[in-house]
Amino acid sequence: MNLDWPLMENNIARADLDAVIEFLKQDDPILTHSRQVQAFEQEWSEWLGVKHSVYVNSGASANLLTITALRETCGLGEIIVPPLTWVSDIASVIQCGFEPVFVDINPRNFAMDDEQVLGELTSETKAVFLTHILGYNGLTQRLLDELAARNIPLIEDACESYGGTFHGRKLGTFGLMSNFSFYYAHHMSTIEGGMISTNDFNLYEMLRMLRSHGMVREATSEELKRSYYQQRPDLMPDFIFAYPGYNMRPTEIGAVIGRSQLKRLDGNNKIRAENLKLFLDNLDPDKYQTDFEREGACNYAFTLVLKHPDAVLWDKVSAGLRQHRVEFRRGLSGGGNQLRQPYLRRVLGNEECEKYPNVNHVHFYGCYIGNYPSLKREKILQLCELLNNLPEGKK
């Protein structure tokens, strides 16, 4: 049985390419960020349910701009971060001068364990940077209530989970700011690209400026721009740099693709959720973990985790997947426990990674497998049969 199951499939459809072609047929089309970007930002905000969004050139750029804006408004201190996430979440915290504080994950949703997060909150905590892993919701009402009571901002990384919900409300609408990625084969793609969403107008203006070198002319508020002009009459109005910003501007072509893809997002997300249910419902619960918190989930990739540590079974799982040409990524999101990576070992030493047993379990005995709308139901059932028939090791 050869399943020929790639990790991801290209989700840019013919309709998306046709939209780009029509855009390029215009006389002298503007290609850097302009009206298409503005329209995409507005349509994304309406779909998500927020007031403001800023389109950037990658999800990693969204992470960095978000934490930069936090530094500009809150000053430096500690940010609580997960050990299971994409590298740019933690890297942005370090690059902006914050101290990362780690807690272990909840095995049922792979996000930070809320009780451990609450236990780490101090007067030095500037934010909690929570990642919704592979489509699962990572929020609890207890966490939201306590952060609100202490006036500590929540930053949501929903790069792998947009369309997921908590209490019927979309992930990415609970935090002060939220980040999304439109990289190849995410829930939707703009080839490269990312988005920052917020309900805070002042942060929105700052993010627009930070995206484009910190230039004041990128703000939408005429009053804000006038205040800078009046304070700095020695400078040309078009070249006043309010912040030490970046060049993270997107293209019009990416926005055209994003606007086209957004029309299919809800339908595709429904298929992904149905695929996950079929996969987990047909896995052997004695061998594999199947009790994930699926309510509101909007799956990005199938999560395959051994129920108990079993090196023999894991070796058979890995070999079986390779033999049947099923591509997978060990360790789940971001390659597993980030504290085992060289960049964090240099900062925190070699022992820190051993303090988090839950993330270490998925690091050594877990992986993810591609889930996408074109995936055939028969393949999912064949994969479950293959996995269920693998013999366990001696206990």
Give pLDDT tens digits for 189-214: 999 999 999 999 999 999 999 999 99
**Local confidence band at 184 (pLDDT 50, 70, 90 cut-offs):** confident
Calculate mean pLDDT across residues 259-285: 96
**Local confidence band at 395 (pLDDT 50, 70, 90 cut-offs):** low
By the 8 A CB rule, do 169 and 179 touch?
A: no
Nearest to 262 by CA among 31, 82, 11: 11
Q: List pLDDT tens digits, range 20-31.
A: 999 999 998 999
Q: List pLDDT tens digits, range 290-349.
A: 999 999 999 989 999 999 999 999 999 999 999 999 999 999 999 999 999 999 999 999
**Local confidence band at 394 (pLDDT 50, 70, 90 cut-offs):** low
Collect all residues with Cβ–Cβ distance below 8 Å to 178 and sequence separation of at least 6.
50, 155, 156, 157, 158, 171, 172, 196, 197, 198
| CA–CA separation, 222 and 124 (whole Å) | 35
Tokens standing for residue 32:
């850097």
**Local confidence band at 393 (pLDDT 50, 70, 90 cut-offs):** confident
| CA–CA separation, 301 and 273 (whole Å) | 10
Tokens standing for residue 183:
């990289």
Output the pLDDT for position 332: 93
Q: DSSP 3-state assignment of 319?
A: helix
* Residue spans per domain, the chain: 14-262, 265-388
Output the pLDDT for position 391: 87
Output the pLDDT for position 359: 98
Tokens standing for residue 207:
């993010």
Tokens standing for residue 39:
């329209």
How many whole angstroms from its chain centre is CA 326?
A: 24
Instruction: Return the H-helix or E-strand segment holding 388.
Output: helix 377-388
Nearest to 13 by CA among 185, 271, 261: 261
Output the pLDDT for position 185: 76
Tokens standing for residue 200:
């805070």
Nearest to 85 by CA among 127, 8, 138: 138
In the predicted structure, residue 10 carries a pLDDT above the cut 70? yes
This prediction has a pTM of: 0.96
Supply the DSSP symbol for 238: G
Percent of the chain clearing pLDDT 70 (strictly above): 99
Calculate mean pLDDT across residues 264-269: 96
Output the pLDDT for position 392: 83
Output the pLDDT for position 15: 96
**Local confidence band at 245 (pLDDT 50, 70, 90 cut-offs):** very high
Collect all residues with Cβ–Cβ distance below 8 Å to 98 and sequence separation of at least 6.
67, 71, 76, 77, 78, 79, 126
| CA–CA separation, 363 and 107 (whole Å) | 12
Calculate mean pLDDT across residues 263-268: 96
Tokens standing for residue 267:
């339908």
Task: Give the number of other Cβ atoms within 10 Å of residue 97's Cβ.
Answer: 12
Residue with tokens 């085992």: 340
Partner residues linked to 195 by β-bridges: 55, 180
Output the pLDDT for position 198: 98
In the predicted structure, residue 1 carries a pLDDT above the cut 80? no
Task: Give the number of other Cβ atoms within 10 Å of residue 10's Cβ.
Answer: 11
Calculate mean pLDDT across residues 357-368: 98
Answer whether 14-262 and 265-388 agree in fold. Answer: no
What does 271-288 look like in DSSP terms, one character per residue?
HHHHHHHHHHHTS-TTTB
Calculate mean pLDDT across residues 151-180: 97
By the 8 A CB rule, do 127 and 137 touch?
A: no
Q: List pLDDT tens digits, range 21-79.
A: 999 999 989 999 999 999 999 999 999 999 999 999 999 999 999 999 999 999 999 99
Q: DSSP 3-state assignment of 328?
A: strand
Nearest to 61 by CA among 246, 272, 278, 323: 246
CA end-to-end span of the chain, whole Å?
29
Tokens standing for residue 284:
């052997």
| CA–CA separation, 169 and 190 (whole Å) | 24
Tokens standing for residue 169:
């409300």
Mean pLDDT, the chain, integer: 96
Output the pLDDT for position 315: 97
Fold (CATH) for 14-262? Aspartate Aminotransferase; domain 2 (3.40.640)
Collect all residues with Cβ–Cβ distance below 8 Å to 220 and sequence separation of at least 6.
204, 205, 208
Fold (CATH) for 265-388? Aspartate Aminotransferase, domain 1 (3.90.1150)
Partner residues linked to 131 by β-bridges: 157
